[in-house]
Structures are given as C-alpha cells and as structure tokens.
Amino acid sequence: MPKFLVKVKWGKETYPGVEVNTDEEPIVFKAQIFALTGVQPERQKVVCKGVTLRDDVWGNFKLSNNALVLVMGSKEEDVPTAPVEQTRFVEDMNESELATALDLPEGLINLGNTCYMNATVQCLKTVPELKNALLNYDKTSGGGTAGELTSALSDTMSALESGGAGACAGAAAKLLRALHATTPRFAERAPGGGLAQQDASECWTEIVRALQQRLPAAPSPSGSRASVIEQYFGGTLDVELVCAETEEPPARSSESFLQLSCFISQDVKYLQSGLRSKMSEQITKLSETLGRDAVYNKTSKISRLPAYLTVQFVRFFYKEKESINAKILKDVKFPLELDVYELCSPELQERLMPMRNKFKELEDAAIASSLSSKRNSRGDIHKDKKRILPYWFENDIGSNNSGYYRLQAVLTHRGRSSSSGHYVAWVARANGWLRCDDDAVTPVTEDEVLKLSGGGDWHCAYLLLYGPKILELPEEEEEPMVMDDVTGDTAGDPPTALA
C-alpha cells in the first residue's frame, strides 16, 4: 500500500510528517489538509512539483517521502468582509452562518461518494446509550479490524460532540480507512476512477456487526445480552411453521433480529401494513413428512422488543438486464409515533399492558385537564416538574416495556439505484429536526420529514430508527430517577433518545 510522509506548507505554516495513502481518494488527503489548516477542500489548491492535485484521481501528482506539498487557499473566515456589520436575517444566511446562529451540530465532509457512511453515523449518533459506549471505548483493547472500526467511530463521535470542522474531517478520513479495512468491497472504484457509491443499509449492517463484537453490554439483571447492540437494538421473534400441504406438527423456534423489514408491494401503503405482511408469509422448505419441498405458512410474533427499533424499507431489487439494484419509488407512509403491540406475542402483550395503561391514564388526565378551565395553585407550581419512568422491563435493561416508539432518525436515498444517487440523514433533537447532508446541517420541520415517504425522485426513506416513547408523570413526593448506570447521563436526566 503506497504511503508517504510529506511536508505540507500553507502560508507561513509547515506541517511535517503528514501521512498520505495514494490508494485512497485525493479528497481524503484534502480532508487531512482541512483538519490541519481549516481550509475547506473546495477552497484548496494543492501543488507538488508544479502539478495540481485533483479531487478524484492522483494522475501525474507524484509523491515521495519528505516531498514538499504547497497548499494555497484561505479559510472562510479569512475572506475580507465589510467593516460595518449589518443585520442578517435567518432567511438570508448560508448554511455555515445558520449553524453558528442556531447552534447546530457539526456534519461530516464527503470524501468522495461517502454520503452513505456519513448518513449512517449521524443516525446512530441519536442513540445516547450507543454514543456514550463509544465515547468511553478503550481504544487500546485491540480487536482486529472490528476494533479499528469501533475506535475510529469513537473518534468520530468525539469530533462530532466537541470538535470543530477540521477534527470532524480528520475523523471521517480515519473512519473511511477503517471501514475499507473491515469491508474491502466499500473501497471499490467507479469507472471514472473515484470511489464507488455504496449501499447505506449494508454500511449500517457492517458497522453494527463490528460494534456488536466490541462494545460490551451495560450491567443488567438478566445478563443475557453480550453487547450494547444486542441489549438496545436486539429483539426476539417466536416463529411457527405450519405445512400447508400435509398434517404434521407445527415447528416452533426462536429467532433474533437487529432490524425489521418492510417489504413494499402494490397493497402496502403504510409502514404498519408492510411490517404485518412480513410477520405472516409463505415459504418453501423441505418437508420430512412428504420427502420433498412443500409450502409452509410462517408466522412470527415479537417476544422481545428492543429499546431502539430499526426498520428497513426493502426498496431495491436486482434487475439482471441492467445489472443494477433498481429502486421502488412507491409512497409508503410512516408515523412519528409507532405502536407495535399487534406484532407482539400474547405473552409479551400481557407484559406490556401495565405501562400502556399508565400512558392511557396520563392521556386521559391531559384531556380532562384541557377541558377544565380550573387551575389550582399547586398544580401550576409543579406543572414543569416531571418524574421519568423507565422504558425497559426491570429485569431486562435495553428492552421496550410499552410497545410505543417515537421516530428519531430517517436515512434517505435520492436516485434510481443503490449504487448511485445520494444519502442523507434526518435526525430529531429536543427542539426539532435536522437535515444532515454531509457537512451541511440545517433545521427542518416535522412536515418535511413526513414527506420522505416516497412517490417520486425526491429523497425516500430507506432506514427508520425509532426510540422508546418516554413516560413523564407529574412529580409528587418521589425523587427523580438516577439513570447514570444505564445511559451515562447525569442524575435526573430523562432516558430519552433525543438527548
């Protein structure tokens, strides 16, 4: 693998010992320069021995150890401005100004068709338990390529939390290298020589698989979950197979899952119906009774709900003639609040009822309060004080004890195939929604998020991430819950996905 240590000179500053890997896109090197100098890649002119570096291919740009690389370009804030500061309205601000004015989080720079990776990271970042586990990850623990990917993701989370644009660019470059080492097919090249676009769902799966190996579970009375991923993302299905062609005893088994699939057919117009259809389907398998393949009715019921429910819209199918994963553009509505009670086994439904009843009582009380114009002074004094109830079963930390979820992230795709187009993350936070389009982060409304259901060439929801709906009761005599041991948050902080 051709690697060189070069000297980067920008203005009066010289940065020796910068490692360059020419097996990677030149834009990755420009991201490293951005991390050092603060000069955005699009503002950089990078020259070595009279040859200017392009974004997509190295071409005649030849490097050697200790070569001098000249960088020309100014940071955005160095551009001369009018001496008198004028009032700026939000409508007139660019994305960078909006981020400063509205205290928006950092995004991740696109290193050449890496929007699939950036969108995946922004969605996973909305899970506080996962984010805290990554921030506390022991980077010296080894673990091969899975450990390197987990370490790189830990650095990326740290950069997104407290670092500037330069730190985020450097972390993104390191994460891309680790992702290529873990999954070499993500390093494939497009016909033009640049990095090929990849499937965000496959990236999500590969990252989660690595984290499943490297992040141990938080302490739980059951102790049955080995990793944070299994604890907070893992569910269980009770499966029954009944042969439709002969009378033989039903076969029952248990299956684990890290996400549910919503298959899109002509009849599926809503997420709930797509999930239901997958829970009851026909398959073909060998019948020992008949001694041949036979049709079986497969029925699945959820017996363990995870705190965070990932749903994939199965929007891509392989077209042999064009040799591409073509996209189904059909409009499939999804809700901001999801109730999966009907998908659960009778035993789990019974266990969910106590918390569901508490939600119902609170809703009834709110309706009664809104119908009454009377307000007593004690109620006014305590109306902002809330008592947070756990969203998990007492003996199963990381589960969901109500069946109620709130949408907290949407990963979308715009284009006609999974190997082209563009991916974007839309994430919820306490005071609204954000669109994370690589390094451009902008506020959006709930209505804009709900329009991501498909039906045209605009962004279509591909992956949904639902978090637990939190029950907040008016505080009376009890002290607020202490959540530190589970989520890593300070005492009294709500265990909410919208941290």
73 contacts: CB under 8 Å, gap ≥ 6: 10, 39, 40, 43, 44, 45
Q: How far is residue 469 from each of residues 365, 450, 472, measured CA to CA in Å? A: 18, 18, 10
Distance in angstroms (rounded) separating the CA atoms of residues 11 and 278: 60
Residue whose tokens read 């503002």: 43
Please say whether the beta carbons of 88 and 97 come within 8 A.
yes
CA atoms within 13 A on the CB side of 478: 12
Q: What are phi and psi of 470, to 5 degrees?
A: -95, 135
CB atoms within 10 A of CB 241: 15
224 contacts: CB under 8 Å, gap ≥ 6: none
Distance in angstroms (rounded) separating the CA atoms of residues 192 and 199: 19
Q: Left if phi > 0, otherwise alpha if psi is -120 to 50, otherwise beta: which for 223?
A: left
Q: Is position 422 annotated as part of the catalytic site? A: yes
Token representation of residue 483? 């959540």
Please say whether the beta carbons of 451 and 128 come within 8 A.
no
Q: State the catalytic residue, choosing from 115, 203, 243, 460.
A: 115
Token representation of residue 253? 């088994």
Q: Indicate the SS3 state at residue 54.
A: coil
Token representation of residue 455? 């039906």
Please say whether the beta carbons of 149 and 185 come within 8 A.
no
Q: State the catalytic residue, choosing from 168, 180, 344, 422.
A: 422
Please name which of 305, 95, 313, 111 lies closest in space to residue 204, comparing C-alpha atoms. 313
Token representation of residue 239? 């499966």
Q: Is position 460 annotated as part of the catalytic site? A: no
Please say whether the beta carbons of 126 and 465 come within 8 A.
yes
CB atoms within 10 A of CB 195: 22
Distance in angstroms (rounded) separating the CA atoms of residues 479 and 499: 21
Q: Indicate the SS3 state at residue 36.
A: helix
Distance in angstroms (rounded) separating the CA atoms of residues 125 and 260: 20
- The residues carrying an active-site annotation are 115, 422
